[in-house]
Amino acid sequence: MRVVFLVAIAAFGAAAAPAAAALGAPPDDSDGQAVRAMPDAVIDLETSEGVRAVKGTWRYADVEIIQVKHRAPDAEGQPTGALVDTLDFRPRAGGTDFDDSSWPAIEPTTLTKRRGNGRVSFSWYRITITIPERVGAFDPTGARVVFETALDDYAEVWVDGELSRAIGQSGGSVVAGWNATNRLTVTRRAKAGQKIQLAVFGANGPLSDPPANFIWMREAKLLFFRGGPIGPESVSPREVNVTVERLDPALDAIVPANPKVHQLAVGFEFTEGPVWDDAHGVLLFSDPNANRIYQYDPRGTGALAVFRDKSGYDGADIAEYRQPGSNGLAFDREGRLTIDEHGRRRVVRVEKDGSVAVVADRFEGKRLNSPNDLVYRSDGMLFFTDPFFGLPKFATDPRRELDFTGVFAVKDAVVRLVTRELSGPNGIAFSPDERVLYVGNWDDHRKIVMRYAVAADGSVSDGRVFFDMTEAPGEDAIDGIKVDQRGNLYVSGPGGLWVLSSEGKHLGTIHTSRHPHNFAWGDADRKSLYLCARDGLYRMRLGIAGAAAPA
C-alpha cells in the first residue's frame, strides 16, 4: 500500500525511507530556488486517498494533430509573411477556463496506464486540487506547495492557466528532460480551501525518432514545505503564454505578430492601481488586500520593495475589510503621488516633504464610499470614481453615507459631482486631447464603457454608451481603462484585455494567463504596458505608446 500522507517525514523513520529516496536530490523549481529534498508533508495524487484529500478528479484526453495555416517569416523574422501550411494540435487545454467536463475521468491508480497512440503522440492530464485544512498532522497554512511529476517521456505543466518559461530553463513548467522529474511551485503561501488547476501536457519521445511506446505518468505528488516566502517576490522576467484574438487589421499596429508577456513579480494578494514614476524610472502599484503600495524597478533582473505600508487604512476594525488598502494611484503635474485610500474613504496627495494632504473625502458633507480609480487632466483637475467596493459589506454597509456611487472632479479643494448614473463606476481615462472622458462600469448586469464630453469646469454632457460588453462570456465586469496616443482604449473586460478604437470598434482581445484588472504605460518610450493581474505583475510591449502623462 502506498504512503499517502508523509508528515514530519524524519519522524517516520524506516517507513518513510522509500518515499524519501524517490524524491532524490533537490532540483530547482520554476522559481530558480532550490527546494530541499525532504518536504514536511506529501499528498500522493496517484492514490484514491490522495485525490479525495484534495477533492480532485483526474481527467484525460488524447491530442489531435491538425493542419493549419500560418505566416512565413518577414525580413525581421516575425510571422507576417505569406500564408504557409503547418501543423497545430487540439485541444489547447492549458487554460483554467478550459471546459474538460466531457473528458473521461480516470482513476488515479491508472495514471501508469499506457495512453496515446504511440509514435508521434501527445496527451493532456488535468486536475483541480483544493488545499486541505490538514495533511495528516501538518497544517499547510503558509506553506510552499510544489507539484512533482514525471511522464514517460516528456512533460510541460500549466498552473492556473499559466505556462512560464525563461531562456535556458529546464524543468519546472517546461520539459525537464528524458523521463525526468518536473518540480513546480503551485503556491507560495497555501491557504485551506484554495483551488489550484493543474494541466500536464505529455509528449512521446524522442521526437526525432518517434518510438513505438506510449505516454504514461510515472508520478504525481504535492510536496508541502513549511516556511514559504513571507511576502511577494520579484522574479527574473520570464515569458508566459498569451493569445490574441484579432478582429480588425488595425490591431496589427498595436499588438506584434509574435506578442510577448513577461512575468515580473509574484505572490501578491491582489494587484491594482499601477502608475509609472517618470522621475525615478519605477512602477508603483497597490495591493489593496494587503494594505500596501509596492515599487518595482525594472532595471537589471527587477527589484521589488514595499513603498508604503498601511496604504489605505489602520483602524481598529481593519479585519472587517477585504480591501482596506490603496487602489488607484496617479501623479499630478508637480510629480506628487495621489492615492485612492479604500479604508479611509478618501483621496490624498503626498507632498514633497512627505506629509499627506487630503484632496477629497466628502461630498456635500457626507463621506465618500471608497475612491477606486483616478486620472488627472493637464490643468490639474482630478477625476475619480467612487464605488462601494472597498467597504466591508459593499452596498449594504452601515458605514455608507452617500446613497449613490459617483464620478467626481476636484480642483482647488472643491469637489463636484460629475455623474451618478453608474452602479459600479470603476476605470477612468481621458482621450489624448482630453475632450472625452471614459468611465467603465463594474456591474455583472451592465458591463459598459461610458463616453462623456468634458467641459473646462469639469462638467460633462452627451453621456452615452461607448461600448457594451454585458453579453460577452467571462465572469469579470469592467475594471481598468487606459488610452494610447492614437486614442485607442485598453479595457479590462470579460475574459481579457479588450482593445477598442476611438470610434468604439472592437479591434481584438488580449488573453493573458492571469486576468489583468488594471495597467499602466511605462518605460522611457511608454510602449510597455505593465499589467496588474490578480496575484502577479506582468509587462507587455506594444507598438503604440501610451497617452502622455499630465504635464
Residues 292-326: pLDDT tens digits? 999 999 999 899 999 999 999 999 999 999 999 99
The torsion angles phi and psi of 516, rounded to 5 degrees, stand at -80, 120
Burial class (CB in 10 A: 0-12, 13-18, 19+), 503: exposed
Ramachandran region, residue 186 (left: φ > 0; alpha: ψ -120 to 50; beta: rest): alpha
- Terminal-to-terminal C-alpha distance of the chain: 70
* Mean of pLDDT values over 362-371: 98
Q: Does domain 9-225 have CATH number 1.10.3470.10?
A: no
In Å, what is the CA distance from 43 to each residue of 2, 222, 393, 429?
A: 11, 5, 37, 48
- Structure confidence by residue, pLDDT tens digits, 151-180: 999 999 999 999 999 888 999 999 999 999
Judge contact between 499 and 483, C-beta under 8 A. Answer: no
In this structure, what C-alpha cell is assigned to residue 44? 500522493
In Å, what is the CA distance from 126 to each residue of 94, 134, 429?
A: 9, 23, 40
- Structure confidence by residue, pLDDT tens digits, 465-512: 999 999 999 889 999 999 999 999 999 999 999 999 999 999 999 999
Q: Which segment of 6-15, 28-37, 446-455 scores lowest on mean pLDDT?
A: 6-15
Q: At 37, is the pLDDT very low, low, confident or very high (cuts 50, 70, 90)?
A: low
Burial 289-309 (b: 16+ CB within 10 A, else e): bbbbbbbbbbeeebebeebbe
Q: At 230, is the pLDDT very low, low, confident or very high (cuts 50, 70, 90)?
A: confident
Peptide bond into 210 cis (omega under 30): no
Judge contact between 377 and 383, C-beta under 8 A. Answer: yes
Closest CA to 9 of 47, 38, 31, 50: 38
Which residues, other chains included, contact 181 with Cβ-Cβ below 8 Å and sequence gap of 6+?
24, 27, 148, 149, 150, 171, 219
Residue extent(s) of CATH 2.120.10.30 domains in the chain: 233-541
Q: Note if the pTM is more than 0.85.
A: yes
| CATH-assigned architecture of domain 233-541 | 6 Propeller (2.120)
- Residue 18 confidence (pLDDT): 28
Handedness of CA 462, 463, 464, 466 (dihedral sign): positive
Residue 234 has pLDDT above 90, yes or no: yes
Q: At 36, is the pLDDT very low, low, confident or very high (cuts 50, 70, 90)?
A: low
Q: What is the DSSP string of 155-187?
A: EEEEETTB--B-TT--STTS--STTPEEEEEEE
Q: Compare 373 and 168 and report the one with higher pLDDT.
A: 373
Strands (E), 405-474: 406-411, 414-419, 425-430, 436-441, 448-454, 460-468
Residue extent(s) of CATH 2.60.120.260 domains in the chain: 9-225
Rg (CA), the chain: 25
How many other C-beta atoms lie within 10 A of the C-beta of residue 152? 19
- Residue 13 confidence (pLDDT): 30
In Å, what is the CA distance from 145 to each residue of 135, 221, 232, 547?
A: 12, 10, 15, 41
